[in-house]
Amino acid sequence: MQEASSRFARLVSIRVRPGKETDFAKTFEEKILPSALREAGLRRVYLLRLLGSPAEFVTFSLWDSEKEAEEYVDSGRYRSYVSKISELLEEEPTVSRFVVDIHAVGQSVKPLRKKRR
């Protein structure tokens, strides 16, 4: 069972129409990212492009909790963001959801779950 203090992550896989990669990245940066960064509980967002496949992207978002990430989806804002890029997409994005067990930055590693005794 997930502990209340666990962070949560979402990975959204996105396939863009060939030739629309630059338009997609620009739209994401200018029309989606500024609003998304104001979402309650959202800590980080990355837009990643698959090496060797310029039309395949992934967004990685790190949230304080699953509850806050689900509230964002339930509010309709995720669908609103997808609608802003829909004409650039080859297919509907797919979403994967994760509990973050370990968070590492630089030289530090921080388990996010308390050890059970």
**CATH code, 7-101:** 3.30.70.100
Handedness of CA 108, 112, 114, 116 (dihedral sign): negative
Question: Phi/psi class of residue 76: alpha, beta or left (left: φ > 0; alpha: ψ in -120 to 50)?
Answer: left
Both tokens of 84, joined, read 């802003």
Per-residue pLDDT tens digits of the chain, which is 117 residues long: 444 457 999 999 999 999 999 999 999 999 999 999 999 999 999 999 999 999 999 999 999 999 999 999 999 999 999 999 999 999 999 999 999 988 777 766 666 665 554
The pLDDT assigned to 3 comes to 46
Q: Which helix (H) or strand (E) holds 25?
A: helix 21-27
The full length of the chain comes to 117
**HSE, side-chain direction, 13 A CA sphere, residue 56:** 7
> For residue 87, what is the DSSP state?
G
At 30, the amino acid letter reads E
Predicted TM-score of the model (pTM): 0.83
